[in-house]
A and B are shown apart, each in its own frame.
Chain A
């Protein structure tokens, strides 16, 4: 087993735990830089979506994972960032300016939403953010002079310093923003601000007794999370090149929550894993939709059953794979399975697999399990 040896207080929370980690992250970055020349345009486009979702995942990780505040209204922040971008671009503001400004503007909106959060907890806060999302959706649909209502807004391709960003250029912009957002989030988490978020999540009473101004840190968490989501919204608007209110519905907010539940609430890596899962699940389901009837056909032919039975089964399979809402059902089942069997998400699973290989052949399944808690102080 390799151990990281610390030699000073300065490197107590290093960016990379080991030289191996530096190497693998460098490989990953090199791979992502080479991607436009290697993979098909469709997958490059999926990669951009993954990055946008990963940015939102990071935003939700800060709010829910670190500070323990719930939000099922993050689509609204995405919308605010997206519409800010569309309007700013129309008025000739350059990208280097409106991209960070989209973050600042949405951050202010997030700060305002954070104010009621000072009095609300858990499910009540969730409902409040939900209401906020509906209000934003409604405002966008009604404020036709700016947003063109339900007709939506077209966005010309983004340009940087007079250069039109093509598909590759935009991909690199997204990559850069994603890396910067993740670095910023790491810095937050390993600093005094991040520890205050953690303190508020685990025990507000203790946090206050330690001198933490819980109100101010809660609104900070909301503002930061919203700001990051706003930047994702700016990229999203350009990626879609057309935005309309129904693209920011409740279903999108739920998707965002799923990112961090499936990926894992506690770590930023989880946000990225969750984004990959959410984006790649769609094409995977579409492939399965085509393949499953073919597979059943082959299977039925192998069984030599009467024709009527074969036809009935085939019709049934077709009806199931084409049923509306099948995707939601599958996602719902996945969420339930994750909450029951892997509350730490994909990242938790990944950590265990890593630990297994590190300790091989000494790893025991039981040692990976968290100890059961019986202490009084564990009661919530």
Chain B
């Protein structure tokens, strides 16, 4: 039994099978990447894992627990955090506020305690703040601490989203196209951070990515999807050399 398992996962939207009988396992501590042409079902697979979509069939097993029927908020509670391809930050709030929302699952105070701002609330607030500051230190976000997200450039937002997911304190981090919309330098920095998150913070990473140089640099294993079906699974070099993958990208 591995760390994270997807078994025969299928989802149908009407007549369209967006994810078709996909099975794979992720080992603890690796960086696992899903690649595939547009419309291959990568993001759909992500939404299935983070339970924004409900699978039509199949199972998702995380640390020996069947999480297929849990709700999205329960998934986060299990320590699976994610980012979004098109950035879903809380735009009218500051960077710090965004990161503190990420700390939600560590907060144990109830609304009435918050109203009275009891000692417990104050202690927890300091703990949340410290955790958020540590994440900001790792990703060099201190200078944006009090800036509203709406006033920040795209590249920075992308990093803040990763930071927010890290604040959840995940054991499995889902990154949906972390390099999309970034320039070459930002992509390089993102690659470094993914490696740092994976090695220093010991977070297992599952990501969807198009940039093959980034994929080759950080991934231990790669899964290629096309039309919702699995094409190839192996190291980056193996998958890139697989005839089906070449055919899917270049056409036959």
Contact = CB atoms under 8 A, between A and B. Distances in A.
Interface of A: 8-10, 12-13, 184, 187-188, 191-196, 198-199, 201-203, 205-214, 220, 224, 266, 370-371, 373, 375-378
B117 to A, nearest CB: 4
Interface in B117-174: 117, 121-122, 124-126, 128-130, 133, 150-151, 154, 157, 164, 168
B228 interface: no
Given A199-B90, A211-B75, A375-B154, 15 more contacts: A187-B115, A188-B115, A192-B103, A198-B93, A201-B90, A203-B89, A203-B90, A206-B90, A210-B105, A210-B164, A210-B168, A211-B76, A220-B111, A377-B87, A377-B89
B109 interface: yes
Nearest to A192: B107
Contacts of A377: 86-89, 91, 154, 157
Contact of B114 (A8, A9, A187, A207): A187
Contact of B104 (A8, A13, A210): A210
Contacts of A198: 90, 92-93, 97, 101
B226 interface: no
A199 B93 CA distance: 9
Contacts of A266: 92
Interface residues of B, number: 50
B50 interface: yes
A212 B124 CA distance: 17
B129 A187 contact: no
A195 B117 contact: no
A198 B97 CA distance: 9
B114 A193 contact: yes
Nearest to A223: B111
Given A196-B101, A202-B90, A214-B73, A191 B130 contact: no
Please indicate which of the listed interface residues A188, A191, A203, A266 has the most CB atoms of chain B within 10 Å of its own CB.
A191
A12 B145 CA distance: 11
B109 A192 contact: yes
B84 interface: yes
B121 A191 contact: yes
B197 interface: no
A208 B101 CA distance: 11
Contacts of B128: 192
Contact of A187 (B72, B117, B157, B164): B117
15 contacts: A187-B115, A188-B115, A191-B117, A191-B121, A193-B111, A196-B101, A209-B76, A210-B164, A211-B73, A211-B104, A212-B73, A370-B150, A370-B151, A377-B88, A377-B157
Interface of B: 50, 52, 71-77, 81-82, 84, 86-93, 96-97, 100-105, 107, 109, 111, 114-117, 121-122, 124-126, 128-130, 133, 150-151, 154, 157, 164, 168
A199 B150 CA distance: 14
Nearest to B88: A206
A184 B117 CA distance: 9
Contacts of B107: 192
Contacts of B130: 9
B89 A206 contact: yes
Nearest to B126: A9
Contacts of B124: 192
Contacts of B82: 209
Contacts of A193: 109, 111, 114
A373 B101 contact: no
Contacts, number: 129
Contacts of A373: 150
A205 B115 CA distance: 26
B160 to A, nearest CB: 11
Please indicate which of the listed interface residues A192, A224, A370, A376 has the most CB atoms of chain B within 10 Å of its own CB.
A192
Contacts of B73: 208, 210-214
Q: Which 8 A-B pairs have the closest CB atoms?
A: A211-B76, A191-B114, A202-B90, A206-B88, A9-B129, A208-B72, A211-B105, A192-B107
B209 to A, nearest CB: 19
Contacts of B117: 187, 191
B118 to A, nearest CB: 10
Contacts of A203: 88-91
Given A192-B109, A199-B101, A206 B84 contact: yes
Contacts of B88: 203, 205-206, 209, 377
Contacts of A208: 52, 71-73, 76
B249 to A, nearest CB: 25
B115 A209 contact: no
A195 B97 contact: yes
Nearest to B114: A191
A371 B115 CA distance: 34
Given A10-B122, A12-B125, A212 B101 contact: yes
A378 B150 contact: yes
Please indicate which of the listed interface residues B111, B121, B129, B151 has the most CB atoms of chain A within 10 Å of its own CB.
B111
A202 B74 CA distance: 20
Contacts of A13: 125
Contacts of B129: 9, 12
B121 A195 contact: no
A211 B77 contact: yes
Contacts of B133: 9
Contacts of A220: 111
A12 B95 CA distance: 13
A101 to B, nearest CB: 15
A230 to B, nearest CB: 15
A372 to B, nearest CB: 11
A192 B76 contact: no
A112 B115 CA distance: 21
Contacts of B122: 10
A377 B161 CA distance: 12
